[in-house]
Structure 1
């Protein structure tokens, strides 16, 4: 039985979604946006467990007067086995953000968080 074109296309779309599953973004970055924060988050794997890291902007003791326009979480693992990101509070349109990065089971975290604002 030959697979139909529709089923082949569905499979390709599903595989493409899995391949980029560890990257996340909120908002849209423009070429004129300025970088407010770039933070590398690296954690070793835990045997039989998960790693969880909170990324907060602005950091304690700092202030931010600009509204956030884009948040990017980039997976630095080549096989997309990196952390899943969740937006806990704030975000695009706010002056603050709280993100959580959670590793996959028995995996570490190697991600870069970038936060942008309009000029």
Structure 2
């Protein structure tokens, strides 16, 4: 029983280190890359960043979204936590929110695939 508890704690620590990257949907070989956007924001003292990524920039897109990938480019899990606010796979639009930690910046890459 104790070994299961230890294994659970180790697994939680390993998965927690990669908690700031997110995936919605799955891209296929025939999908096109619709958006590749790198968001970089420098830290603000005693404050945080709250950035929205909109696809398309205005109006409704021409392609159905099949997958959204958000990568945290920080290697120490101090980056922004991504949230899919609206749209996403199966829709022609998406709004992704990146919220940084207090006193931390943002260095994330958002990639959207569709067809």
TM interval, short-chain normalised: over 0.9
- Identify unmatched segments of 5+ residues in structure 1: none
Compare CA radii of gyration and give the structure with the larger one: 1
After TM superposition, list the pairs within 5 Å mapping 1:103-118 onto structure 2: 103-118=100-115
How many pairs align?
A: 115
Runs of 4+ residues over 4 Å off in structure 1: none
Q: Is the 8 A contact 2:49 2:100 kept in 1?
A: yes
Q: Return the offset for 1:66.
A: 1.2
3-state DSSP of counterpart to 1:10: helix
- TM-score for both structures, normalised by structure 2: 0.93
Deviations along 1:45-101, whole A, 9 cap, x unmatched? 1111111111000013x6521110000000000111110011111111000001110
- TM-score for both structures, normalised by structure 1: 0.90
Tell me what 2:84 maps to. Answer: 87
Q: Distance in 2 between matches of 1:22 and 1:4?
A: 29
After TM superposition, list the pairs within 5 Å mapping 1:23-38 onto structure 2: 23-38=21-36
Q: Is the 8 A contact 2:68 2:111 kept in 1?
A: yes
Tell me what 1:5 maps to. Answer: 3
After TM superposition, list the pairs within 5 Å mapping 1:23-62 onto structure 2: 23-60=21-58
Query: CA-atom RMSD, angstroms?
Result: 1.5
- Identify unmatched segments of 5+ residues in structure 2: none
